[in-house]
Amino acid sequence: MILTRLTNLRKSKRWSLQYTADRLGIAKSTYAGYESGHRRPSLEAIAQIADLFDTSTDYILGRVDHQAPQLDDDTSVPCMELTELSTLNLSVDGLSLSKEEMQQFIAFIRAKRQLEGKTT
């Protein structure tokens, strides 16, 4: 478990040990023990902590390096609406697509569908 991450998660929300412990339903000294490394949370505790801080147990444990939790969809089969995506990084032949290319593509698809609708 990476102690600094635990502390940073809490401090990024400007929460005190007391408040955090209250939210978790444990004693202040208990949660303080987690951050200091004197105590280690149980599996349930670390899951609750991950929930509270909107991150993953893997991040707290140091198994991944980004704070965002897994989203439980769109991982195996990505599913997204291109027109609603503000930032994304799609690439063709290793070269990422620019916003202009994305808009051109969207226009391309719309035009193509309109043609098909008329001819069919």
* Shortest reach from residue 58's CB to its own copies, in Å: 5
Residue with Cβ nearer its own copies (19 or 67) = 67
Residue with tokens 């897994």: 70
Tokens of 98: 């620019």
Decide if residue 26 touches DNA (CB under 7 A). yes
Q: Kindly tell me which of 16 and 114 has the beta carbon lying closer to DNA.
A: 16
8 Å CB contact between 97 and 90: yes
Is residue 66 involved in binding its own copies (CB under 8 A)?
yes
Please give the torsion angle defined by the CA atoms of residues 67, 71, 76 and 82, in that order, rounded to the nearest 10 degrees: -100
What residues does 95 pair with on adjacent strands?
92
Query: Which parts of this chain interact with DNA (CB under 7 A)?
Result: 11, 16-19, 26-30, 32-33, 35-36, 38-42, 45
